[in-house]
Amino acid sequence: MTRVPIALIALACAFALVNIAANAAPLAGSRPNIILVMTDDQGYGPIGAHGHPWIKTPNMDRLHSESTRFDRFLVSPTCSPTRAALMSGRHPMKNGITHTILERERMALSTTTIAQVLGKAGYTTGIFGKWHLGDEEPYQPHHRGFDEAFIHGAGGIGQAYDCSCADAPGNTYFKPTIRHNGSFVKTEGYCTDVFFAAGMGWMKRAKETGKPFFAYIVTNAPHGPYIAPPANEKKFTDLGFSKTTAGFYGMIENIDENLGKLLRNLKAWGLEENTVLIFMSDNGMTGGGSGQQGEDLADGYRFYNAGMKGLKGSADEGGVRVPFFVRWPGRIAAGEVDRIAAHIDVFPTLAALAGAALPPNQVDGRNLLPLIENPGVDWADRYFFTHVARWKTGSEPNDHQWENFAVRNQKFRLVGDALFDMEADPGQATNVAAQNPDEVHAMRAAYDAFWKETRPLMVNETAPMSPTRPFHVLYEQQKASGGIPVWQVPEL
């Protein structure tokens, strides 16, 4: 038997103690770089590690295996509300968000954003992709704390509505026109590739400044229309999927490829050891491209939503549950947190990482760092409130209080008059309201108090429709005065 010198044993023990001490160092105030990647309409199901039967997502699966992951992370049922919660740390309706269009997607100008808070703490901040919190100039991200803003307009590339919510005219997923720090540029390539390239190029430059950065990479994919790069789409049409569904899943696999590039570059640039990477989606999975309708559902197999009831736009679990992976090699251990958490928690968590002060009387969420450091920590239960909203413009919100709402705590989800035990019945098959009248009463009372607090903050309800589409007006003005320059893809 070979004997190991005592000195080597002592040295190994010393290294182990150093590593344990490093891993035990508090996360609060550690001031890492922060990258938040959020996909659009992907939801929880379409990830290989979540049991999806045919989609291949090796990089999302890697994040799953290398991250602290929150198994029951909850957001809003649609796009703008979740984005407002991330930016503010409070329920989206308290920011005036009650729709995704019709002037009701505009985040109240009184809201202090996470970009502003991090900026005051010495961070440089950038957004790349989908903003969807107001296309009128005062609402734009370059006026809301972002040093670098590289975005499309409206809720999707090419969208246009009879209000202020509209993207650049005639925009497309390939070679999209992007608003870069207030001016339009023409890009080359597929939209998701462009957003990741812009974000990574900015990070590479930010590294040289010595300041920590916050990069918010917000893809419009896989939101409809379901247009993927040809190679990604072909994989699924070859398997017999319709063009629509092939586009949806191809878009997700393209996002996964870009996540792989991001992970490789973080390592190559020496950023991995001081960068927190968060991956999530903005609401439940869309039904439009996922095989819910048409020939892709005919065999009963091609629709997968991880056994949940509800899709995007629903107050059920499937409408609001998303992945939430938090990765920091050497500092955050891989594992699972089973406590419920939500979009309103992201703001205070990022602020705590940065050692930044919270704005007074704004943040409803909790700092999740104690759970990330110790998933078994004593953690008080709480209620999360969901309302689909989207009532007709001009109607009184109080008339819709008891429609399309839900209340969630660790064990139960109340949806209207139905109560579900989410621990015993995660698919919401059995209404247990009759067996738990006290729980129903407590949840409804808490929701009523929340509503009464929130209703005065719905500041967009009587806003007049804009007579113009700001992105269209600004685009035409720039085109007439100096043209639309071509954006140069950064060297990575």
What's the CATH code of the domain at 414? 3.30.1120.10
Are residues 133 and 37 part of one domain? Answer: yes
Are residues 307 and 452 part of one domain? Answer: no
Are residues 394 and 366 part of one domain? Answer: no
User: What's the length of the chain?
Assistant: 492
* The two structure tokens encoding residue 359: 């704005």
Are residues 67 and 140 part of one domain? Answer: yes
Are residues 417 and 319 part of one domain? Answer: no
* The two structure tokens encoding residue 372: 């990330």
Domain assignment present for 122: yes
pLDDT in tens, the chain (492 residues): 334 444 444 444 433 333 333 446 899 999 999 999 999 999 999 999 999 988 999 999 999 999 999 999 999 999 999 999 999 999 999 999 999 999 999 999 999 999 999 999 999 999 999 999 999 999 999 999 999 999 999 999 999 999 999 999 999 999 999 999 999 999 999 999 999 999 999 999 999 999 999 999 999 999 999 999 999 999 999 998 889 999 999 999 999 999 999 999 999 999 999 999 999 999 999 987 776 544 444 444 467 999 999 999 999 999 999 999 999 999 999 999 999 999 999 999 999 999 999 999 999 999 999 999 999 999 999 999 999 999 999 999 999 999 999 999 999 999 999 999 999 999 999 999 999 999 999 999 999 999 999 999 999 999 999 999 999 999 999 999 999 999 999 989
Cβ-proximal residues to 340 (8 Å cutoff; 6+ apart), any chain: 72, 73, 74, 382, 384, 408, 409, 410
Are residues 252 and 150 part of one domain? Answer: yes
Alpha carbon separation from 105 to 57, 95, 154, 359, 371 (Å, rounded): 32, 9, 9, 22, 32
Which helix (H) or strand (E) is 245 found in, with range? helix 243-268
Question: Considering the entire predicted model, what is its pTM?
Answer: 0.94
Domain assignment present for 432: yes
Q: DSSP letter string over 43-109?
A: -SSSSGGGT-SS---HHHHHHHHHSEEETTEE--SSHHHHHHHHHHSS-GGGGT---SSTTTTPPPT
Are residues 419 and 300 part of one domain? Answer: no
The CA-based angle 34-37-42, given to 5 degrees, is 160
Are residues 453 and 353 part of one domain? Answer: no
Domain that holds residue 400: 384-457
* The two structure tokens encoding residue 128: 């790349």
Q: How many domains is the chain partitioned into structurally?
A: 2
